[in-house]
Amino acid sequence: MTPEKLHAILYKFAESQGICLNNDKPFVMNIIAGLLANESRYGYRSCPCRLASALKEQDMDIICPCAYRDADMKDYGSCFCALYVSNDWNDGKIERKQVPERRPLEKRLL
Ligand code: SF4
């Protein structure tokens, strides 16, 4: 899978859900590089903004799109990494804030 191919897939996937990819393409390509690196490292596309355990069953909640994406999109207009965003977020119609980590403390590797 090339980064460009994954970008095209995720772009269509986001569109099919009525949301978007961040319109900052270089930023998105960095996130995609992280997803692909994690896939090659762990065998699954864990969130590039979080530390994975390397155990799929422990990381199911942070396999992209993570279990926290929809709640983060609802409250902030973007996911934790700002890969997935709303149309309004992309259009600058809502304030862009740092999305707080929603993953429970006990699941995080500190
Ligand atoms: S925060 Fe965004 S990029 Fe990270 S796993 Fe969730 S949906 Fe994917």
**66 in contact with ligand 1, CB cutoff 6 A:** yes
Q: State which of 62, 85, 98 you would mutate to test the pocket of ligand 1, scoring each by most atoms of that ligand within 8 A of its C-beta.
A: 62
* 86 neighbors 21 (Cβ within 8 angstroms): no
Neighbour-count burial for 85-96, b at 16+ CB within 10 Å, e otherwise:
bbeebbeeeeee
Position 109 confidence tier, pLDDT thresholds 50, 70, 90: confident
For ligand 1, say whether the CB of 45 is within 6 Å of any of its atoms.
Answer: no
Q: Is the pLDDT of residue 41 over 70?
A: yes
For tokens 């149309």, the residue is 87
| Cα Rg of the chain (Å, integer) | 14
How far apart are alpha carbons 76 and 80 in whole angstroms?
Answer: 9
Pocket lining: 35 vs ligand 1, CB cutoff 6 Å: no
Render pLDDT for 44-92 as a digit per residue (tens, 0 to 9).
999 999 999 999 999 999 999 999 999 999 999 999 999 999 999 999 9
Query: What does the pLDDT look like over 22-37, one tens digit per residue?
Result: 999 999 999 999 999 9
Ligand 1 pocket mutation pick from 32, 79, 85, 103 by most atoms within 8 angstroms of CB = 79
**Residue 10 pLDDT level (bands cut at 50, 70, 90):** very high
Nearest residue to 80 via CA among 95, 93, 97, 57: 97
Q: What is the pLDDT of residue 110?
A: 58
In short, whether 83's Cβ falls inside 6 Å of ligand 1 is yes
Question: How far is the C-alpha of 57 from the C-alpha of 86, rounded, in Å?
Answer: 29
Q: What is the mean pLDDT of residues 99-105?
A: 96
